[in-house]
Amino acid sequence: MKSALKTIIAVVALSLTLSVHAQEQASVEATGDGKTWTVNIRNADIQAFINQVAQMTGKNFVVDPRVRARDVTVISNQPLTADEVYELFLSVLQVHGYAAVPAGNGVIKIVTNTTAKQSNLPLTQNAGSVDGEELITQVITVDNSPVEELVPVLRPLVPQYGHLAAVGSANALIISDHADNIQRMRAIIGSLDNAESDELEIVQLQHAFAGNMVALLEELTKADAAGGNNRRRGLQGGATVIADERTNRLIVKGDRGTRARLIPLIRQLDTPSSAAGGVQVVRLSHGDAEQMAELLKNFAAGASAVRQGGEGSGGAAAARTVSDADARVSIQADTSLNALVIRAEPEMMKELQSVISQLDVRRAQILIEAAIVEVTGDKASSLGFQYVAGDLNNGIGAVNFGGDGVSINSLLQAVITEDPSNISLGDGITAGIGETDADGDIEWGALIQALASTTNTNLLSTPSILTLDNQEASIIVGENVPFVTGQASSTGSGVSNPFTTIQREDVGLTLKVTPHVAGLDTVRLELEQETSAVKDSIGEAVDIVTTKRKLTTTVLADDGETIALGGLINDDVQETVRKVPLLGDIPLLGVLFRSTSKQHIKRNLMVFIKPTVLASNDRLVDMTREKYMGVTAMQFRVNDDGELVREVKFPLPTRADRLFQGRSPVSDDYRRAYEAEQSKSVEDSAAPPTSGPVTDTDSALPEREAPAASRPEEE
């Protein structure tokens, strides 16, 4: 019993061993005429399988030592040709991580997949022309889409041992993989690279700026990429968006789906902004449109440079910044309306409006009152003696000092010629004494002259001018005097055409001032004051001689404060002695042989200035009333009885605003009195009524006291 059981166990164990051995061996059966094979393999060694395929296909294989596998299983129920067996063989190699690489001369290398792509893979133009499982390399040219956008789509389809690379310069893809997989990726590329789907569409923006919209879409693209989307264009989805800033339009190029998704987003973003943009007309109330436009252009260029400075560096970036600023901001001045026409993006428009609101403000007005005071004192005295002796036959001798008044020579000439018309005795005392002979001829004579004079002059000039803060103003009161600058005349026998060239210059009082309100109560003044006059005595000069006093300075003064700018104190003492040598030096008696003159001139010149800031209209009205009352007050005088009487027959109105009522500046009371007097005169004379101006005005108005209603009103 026991021996029988042992026999059964040995038989079963032997049968299992034979069965396992049979499964490890490759079972290949040939059918038909020997051109087809049915391949069924279970857990066979890959080296044995390679050997059987070499026998069936007639190919030569070189096997890498690293190619090892003992679990090759192939189940086939259909007979296969030699080519089909080889394609099946390539599939088995791929499943087990190996690849067949043609090496030339009919030799095929069996290597691992990781090193296959580094081998000499065949380069083909059409993957469909080779076996589907054959490992090849193919270059695929893309016509429309950027290859960088296709790489993320195709990368998951390529196995780890395959290779996928993009060549941007040629817009091509290089793929190393099995032929059937390359054929599948080629179909995907053809579907994506469809030129018919990339169409152009123009979007007209109504509120937003085209450049800003493109920048915003790019920012959304960056945010989309940062959120995990690796597409290059992000939200734009491969579409191209170009800004036409000249017409404020967007040009969108892309497939229909991308455009259908992108354009509604643009429509939603193109909404009115709370910050006004676009084109605006800003009317200025106080500033000058041309000056403001120039200032704002410089400001806009500087603001754009600051905002875009981080986007680039160097000269190219700076040039691009200026170009962008010029394209996005347009500022034009309309001088007829004193307005600015501004086209700018909303952010820049807000900044420009802020600058305009701070610059276009009412500037304070400053009344500049100057006083030029010149006090001159001139004291002069002279005493002189002149003598003459002799006769016409024996000769005449004289002691003559002609510099003081009349000279004794001129008197002697008048006596000889008996023509005294050219004699002028001059100022002061002039006395003469002499003796003649029996024939009436002068034997001797003496002339005594004495003069003492005192002159005092007070000159007060008070120019005033009203100007704006930081605005230069000038006032000139004087004459335009001609000065000879050249003369020409011809000599000889030629035609004479003499001429004289002149140049006219202002002579008088000139005041130029530029005020700057430095604070609430302080004014900085840039002043230039000049006083010139034509001199009465020109002496030896051949042309007009003028005197000039000029002052240029910059000072600080409080509002309403009178300050002295400067002046000149001149003390001039002149003493002139004319005498006969030796005789004029004799004590006491020497005075008879001398002529002495003394002159003492004192001149004091001072310039005062008083600025008054008129920040409000009320102060301006008060100042006008005060100045006008000063003018009307000059029409009155106080008579001997102490009464205030009007010196003019047609006085000015009592208020300045009545000067501009479309009539002559004569008070209403005097007008009515004048008309009544004329009517009465016409009735008394029974003369026919006359029209036109009346010339007899003496009887029309009272000579002394004016009607009470015409006197200056007290406001």
Each residue's pLDDT tens digit, 212-256: 888 888 887 766 555 544 443 445 556 788 888 777 888 888 777
- Tokens 């307005």 correspond to 339
Residue % of the chain over a pLDDT of 90:
6
| Residue boundaries of the structural domains of the chain | 22-120, 195-269, 278-361, 365-485+500-536+544-615, 619-710
Please tell me the predicted confidence (pLDDT) of residue 512.
92
Question: How many whole angstroms separate alpha carbon 27 and alpha carbon 367?
Answer: 123
In CATH, the number for domain 278-361 is 3.30.1370.120
Contacts of 260 (CB under 8 A, 6+ apart): none
Residues 708, 715: Cα–Cα separation, whole Å: 15
| 591 burial via Cβ count (<10 Å: 0-12, 13-18, 19+) | middle
In the chain, the percentage of residues whose pLDDT exceeds 70 is: 66
pLDDT tens per residue, range 271-291: 876 555 568 889 999 889 999
Q: What is the pLDDT of residues 641-684, one digit of tens each?
A: 767 677 766 677 777 777 776 555 555 666 666 667 666 665 55
115-137 confidence digits (pLDDT tens): 776 676 766 666 555 666 777 78
- Partners of 546 in the β-ladder: 534
> What is the pLDDT of the chain when averaged over all its residues?
73
For 480-503, what is each residue's pLDDT tens digit? 888 887 777 666 555 566 777 888
**CB 565 within 8 Å of CB 551:** yes
**How far apart (Å, rounded) are the C-alpha atoms in residues 3 and 7?**
6
In this model, does residue 31 exceed pLDDT 90?
A: no
Residue with tokens 């969108």: 252
The domains spanning 195-269 and 278-361 adopt the same CATH topology = yes
- Please compute the mean of the pLDDT values over residues 70-74 and round it to a whole number: 80
According to DSSP, residue 77 is labeled: -
**Is residue 510 a contact partner of residue 463, using CB atoms and an 8 Å limit?**
no
In DSSP terms, which residues pair with 380 in a beta bridge? Answer: 453, 599
- Please give the average per-residue pLDDT across 550-572, as a whole number: 85
CATH number of 195-269: 3.30.1370.120
Reference 710, options 675, 666, 663, 674; nearest CA is: 666
Q: How far apart are CA 452 and CA 234, in angstroms?
A: 109
- 157 with 185: CB under 8 angstroms? yes
| DSSP conformational letter for 80 | B
Kindly tell me if the per-residue pLDDT of 339 is higher than 90: yes
| 3 state SS of 390 | strand
CATH topology of domain 22-120: Ribosomal Protein S8; Chain: A, domain 1 (3.30.1370)
